[in-house]
Amino acid sequence: MYSKRLDGRGFDELRKIEAKLGVVESAQGSAMFRIGDTIAIAAVRGPRDLYPKFMQNPKRGTLRCNYNMMSFSVDERIRPGPSRRSREISLVTENALMPAVNLSDFPNAVVDVFIEIIQADAGTRCAGICAASLALADAGIPMRDLVCAISVGKVGDKIVVDLNKLEEDYEGGSTDMPVAFLPRRNEISLLQLDGEMKKEDILKALELAKKSCEKILEVQRNVLMEKYKNE
């Protein structure tokens, strides 16, 4: 029975969120997104020339995402360089952001999104997606909607939102379900599951994810407003 969360939060309560723009000065757009002890930065470079040429799409621009964890972002050092895990996360991140961006004005070009995890306490791919969404908007890339991502799941017998590392490793059983929404379109662009969960629980968890994403959207809107409204 998981009666109280390990860090005392409510089952539908997110960890503290903090976001900032312009963290990479020379990039077209950049952002930091922090949730609890997970810190992600994202930077957008482009639209720019895409090499190798055979990858160019003459009809529209290409989105290319790269997710990476810094070696010291976790207790057990990660050897620098891409891993199978980081390459998979790069791909699902790209697939999470693609439905939101409109690159029809940039044929043959590429928009590169780089995500680095500086400190990890679970939910890194979701934090990366939230940071990337801000960075894309900051760069002026046309978007149908922002993208908000959060992990939901089941810890013990409870449906929870925003699992931390301790909850992911909980001995009484833990299922992790990262979800990304285009909040205004009510569209899901990222959905993964790692564990064991029944259909009713999944649907409940998705509802919880949707509500949480509305809170994340507010944070994103506020940080964009703070930078741009008074210009």
Cα 203-206-207 angle, rounded to 5 deg: 90
116 binds other proteins (CB under 8 A): yes
DSSP string, 21-90: E--STTSSEEEEEEETTEEEEEEEEEEEE-SSGGG--SSS-EEEEEEEE-TTSSSSPPPSS--HHHHHHH
Q: Which stretch binds other proteins (CB under 8 A): 11-19, 98-106, 153-161, 166-174?
A: 98-106
Asked if 122 is part of the footprint of other proteins (rule: CB under 8 A), the reply reads no
Cβ atoms of 190 and 180 within 8 Å: the answer is yes
Nearer to other proteins, 3 or 26 (CB): 26
Residue of the chain from 19, 141, 159, 197 that contacts other proteins (CB under 8 A) = 141
CB of 73 to other proteins, least distance (A): 6
Position among 86, 112, 124, 179 found at the interface with other proteins (CB under 8 A): 112
How many angstroms separate the Cα of 180 from the Cα of each of 48, 71, 216? 27, 26, 11
Q: Shortest gap between Cβ of 57 and other proteins (angstroms)?
A: 10
Identity of residue 26? S
SS3 of 200, please? helix
CB of 129 to other proteins, least distance (A): 15
Residue 131: both structure tokens together: 């940071």
Structure tokens given for 74: 């976790």
Residue 45-64 contact track with other proteins, rule CB under 8 A, x = bound: xxxxx--------x--x---
Q: Which lies closer to other proteins via its Cβ, residue 10 or residue 80?
A: 80
**Helix H or strand E encompassing 203:** helix 199-228
37 is a contact residue toward other proteins (CB under 8 A): yes
Q: CB-wise, 42 or 129, nearer to other proteins? A: 42
Site residues (vs other proteins, CB under 8 A): 23-30, 37, 39, 41-43, 45-49, 58, 61, 66, 68, 70-77, 80-81, 100, 102, 105-110, 112, 114, 116, 118-120, 137-146, 182-185, 220-221, 224-225, 228-231
